[in-house]
Every structure is written in structure tokens, then in C-alpha cells.
A and B are shown apart, each in its own frame.
Chain A
Amino acid sequence: MSQLREPAFDRAVALVLRTGAFGCFFIMLAGLIDSFFMNGRIPADIERAGVLLMLATPVVRVIVACFLFFREKDYRYGWTSLGVLVILLLGAVFGIGEH
């Protein structure tokens, strides 16, 4: 079952990753260029947005795969993806341990 070749599935997931990586690159680049010309909050906020987009990209990739698995009625892997998503979100919610 693992060697099932599903070009459309691969393409959808690849699209998510590429969009995230390129989007992030351009946002961070904009932040960098800004930081050369002005100091202060605006460049920092743009850079923060880029970092957050990068952190969100793998999460979106899991959500898209989860959706596609359920649509294909491949429940085993649909639930697996949902499990990964839950772990990711728990990490985001309970990100404590301050010092």
C-alpha cells in the first residue's frame, strides 16, 4: 500500500511546502531590506511574520494531507495525520517552561 503512486497527492503537498518556503523567503527579505533603511518595530514585525509563517507551513502540510486522506476514505492514515496535528498543536499550546 505504501508504494501507491499518487501524483496529485504529492503535488498538493509539494505546493503547500513551496508556497510556505517562497512566501517566507520574500517576507523575510522584505523585513531585511526594511531593516537596512529603518530601525524599529516595522522590520521586526515583518521578520516575525516570516518566522511564524515558516513554523505554520508544516502544520498546514499536515492539515492538507489529513483532509486528502479522509477524502480518499483512507481512514487509517487520516487518523494518523490527525494524531500528528494534535501533537503539533499541543506543543504550541503548552509551550511553557519559562526561566
Chain B
Amino acid sequence: MLTTALLVFLGFCAGLLGALTGIGGGVLLTPILALHFGVPIRQAIGTSLVAVITTSAASSSVHLQRHTTDIRLGMTLELATALGAAVMAYLVGYFNRNALEGLFAAFLLYSAIMILSRGGKVKDEDESSPGINGEVAIPPYEPKRYPLGLGASLVAGALSGLLGIGGGPIKVPVMFIFMGVPLMVATATSNFMIGVTAAASAMVYYRRGDILVHIAAPLAVGVFVGSLLGARLTPRIHTKIIVYLLVAVMFYLAGHLGLHLLRELL
């Protein structure tokens, strides 16, 4: 019972911070489940995927109502992300626990350093902010360089299937910089794609028994409330301090995972 309440709280924090800073829930939930709740890393990944789908469904329904999501572009790139995610999720069944923990620690370290090197900026700033009535002026554009976009989506999907994350930090810059999609549309479309991408791998995890429902349910409840609250607070909160706090947490989790791994190996 105490554990359940803690899981709701953990999900709430992850959802809130995810909505405020753009650092997705999966990156933090997986290692915390593995290190502090004694969940084997593969199950931790599968379980946090459920939270990732919840966040995507809740937030992209908001973006869709602002008409900033390019459903056609999203659907096209989903061919690649879903394929990458499903195939990688399948392969993860043959990875051993230490390899997964090592990969995850490396990924945490890499993300934390990337955020620091950008001076605490996670999201690229939106060049146009939503109008009062939620209607936004989007300049006309035509997505280009589809092969490059599909290739990057395949990699993003595979990472999602491997680590249980959303993969926004790959998809958004690729759409924005290489495909010529306005940033606001790229962000909304990436969010939109995460649901299908995570579902593609989550179904493989579920079939393998790697989603623990008694952990996923309290987490998802917390994440849902946290991300809705975070979306409302976003315009009113200065996020830089929170981002640095999260970077510290990421370093701590990476170090903890690394130590855990060392103890296993020695």
C-alpha cells in the first residue's frame, strides 16, 4: 500500500517535470524503478512505456486541438518508428540485464551532458506562441528529405524500444532542421508519434510479461495528473532551475546504475 502511494507520487513528479521541462518521464522512471523498487531493468523499461503512452495521449490531444500536428507527416514517419521500436523490443528479449543497465547508464550520462552543453535548454524555443483563442499562424511549408527523416525515425524508434523512452530529442531537430517543418509543428508531431512508437514496443514487452500492471497502473495515474497540471503551469514557471535539478538527478541515477553494474560484474 505504501509502495502504491509512492508509485503514484513518483508518476506525478515525472509527469509534472516532463510537462514543465520536456525531459520525458521514461528517462527517469526506468532507472528509479530499477534501482529503488527492485524491478529488473527489462520490466522497468516495459512498465515505464505505459507511462510514456499515457503522457503522449494526454498531451497530443491538446496539440491536435490547436491544429499544430501534421498527421500526414506523423503517420509517414511512424512507419519507421513503429518498425524500429517493434524490432528492437523483440531483440531486447535476448539482451542480458547488465548490458541493458550499462546502455541505460550511458544514455542518461549522454543526455545530461547534452543538456548541460546547451546551457540548460531542453526544448528549442517556439518561434511563434499560441494566440489567445489557441489558434496559431503556421507558415506554409512542405516537408522535404523524407529518406533522411525516415532513417532518423527508425533510429528514434529503435531507441524507444530499447530504453523505453519517447525519442523526442531526435525527432524534433530532424523534422525542424532537415525536413523544413516549423518547430511548433515538429514538437506537436513528435509528441503525436510517441504514442504509436511506444505502443509498438510495449505490445512486445507485454506479450513477454515485461509489463508489471500493479506498478504500471499507479504510475500511469500519477503521470496523467502530473502532466495535465504541468501543462497548465508551463507558462508561469521559470524552468531553468528545475532542468539543472533534473540533470543532477540524471547524473546520480547514471552513477548509481554504473555502481550497481560494477558490483554485478566484480
Hey, which bits of chain A sit against chain B, CB under 8 A? 1-5, 7, 9-11, 13-15, 17-18, 20-21, 24-25, 28-29, 31-32, 35-36, 44, 47-48, 50-51, 54-55, 57-59, 61-62, 65, 77, 80-81, 83-84, 87-88, 90-92, 94-99
Question: Which of A15, A57, A90, A95 gathers most chain B CB within 10 Å?
Answer: A95
B61 lies within 8 A of chain A by Cβ: yes
The 6 closest A-B pairs by CB, nearest first: A95-B207, A97-B93, A91-B86, A14-B64, A47-B217, A58-B199
In the assembled complex, the CB of A68 is this many whole angstroms from the nearest CB of chain B, namely: 9
CB distance from A45 to the nearest CB of B (A): 9
B201 within 8 A of A: yes
The complex places the Cα of A44 from the Cα of B211 at a distance, in Å, of 13
Interface string of B74-86 (1 = CB under 8 A from A): 0110110011011
Partner of A44, one of B69, B72, B213: B213
- Residues of A contacting B201 in the complex (Cβ-Cβ under 8 angstroms): 91
Say whether A11 contacts B65, CB under 8 Å: yes
Contacts of A51 in B (CB 8 A): 50, 206, 211, 213, 216-217, 220
**Residue from A48, A54, A62 with most neighbouring chain B CB atoms (10 Å):** A54
CB pair B61–A18 under 8 Å, yes or no, is yes
Chain B, interface residues (CB within 8 Å), range: 35 or more
B196 with A54: CB separation less than 8 A: no
B195 interfacial by beta-carbon distance below 8 Å: yes
Q: Which of B76, B90, B214 contacts A80 (CB 8 A)?
A: B76
Residues of B within 8 A of A91 (CB): 82, 85-86, 89-90, 200-201, 203-204
Q: Is B131 an interface residue (CB 8 A)?
A: no
Select which of B141, B206, B225 is within 8 A of A2 by beta carbon: B141
Determine if A61 and B196 form an interchain contact, defined as CB atoms under 8 angstroms apart: yes
When distances are taken between beta carbons in the complex, the residues of chain B under 8 Å from A18 are: 57-58, 61
List the B side residues contacting A21 at CB < 8 Å.
Answer: 54, 57-58, 61, 224
> A77–B216 Cα gap in the complex (Å)?
33
A17 touching B54, Cβ below 8 Å = no
Dominant secondary structure of chain A at its interface with chain B: helix
Cβ of B218 under 8 Å from chain A: yes
B78 touching A2, Cβ below 8 Å: no
Residues of A within 8 A of B206 (CB): 51, 55, 95
**Which chain A residues lie closer than 8 Å to B128 at the CB level?**
none
Please give me the residue from chain B that is nearest to A66 by CB atom: B75
Which residues of chain B come closer than 8 Å to A62, judged between CB atoms? 75, 78, 196
- 22 A/B residue pairs, CB under 8 Å, sorted by A: A2-B143, A14-B65, A17-B60, A18-B61, A20-B57, A21-B54, A24-B54, A32-B4, A36-B1, A47-B213, A47-B214, A50-B217, A51-B213, A51-B220, A58-B56, A62-B78, A84-B196, A88-B196, A91-B201, A92-B203, A95-B208, A96-B93
Which residues of the partner chain B approach A47 to less than 8 Å between Cβ atoms? 213-214, 216-217
Most buried by B among A28, A47, A90: A28
Is B264 at the interface (CB under 8 A from chain A)? no
- Minimal Cβ-Cβ distance residue in A for B49: A55
Cα distance A94–B198 in the bound complex, in angstroms: 16
Note all chain A residues with C-beta closer than 8 A to B8.
32
Sample of 9 further A-B pairs with CB below 8 A, known A7-B67, A36-B1: A9-B71, A32-B217, A47-B213, A55-B202, A77-B76, A91-B82, A91-B86, A95-B207, A97-B94
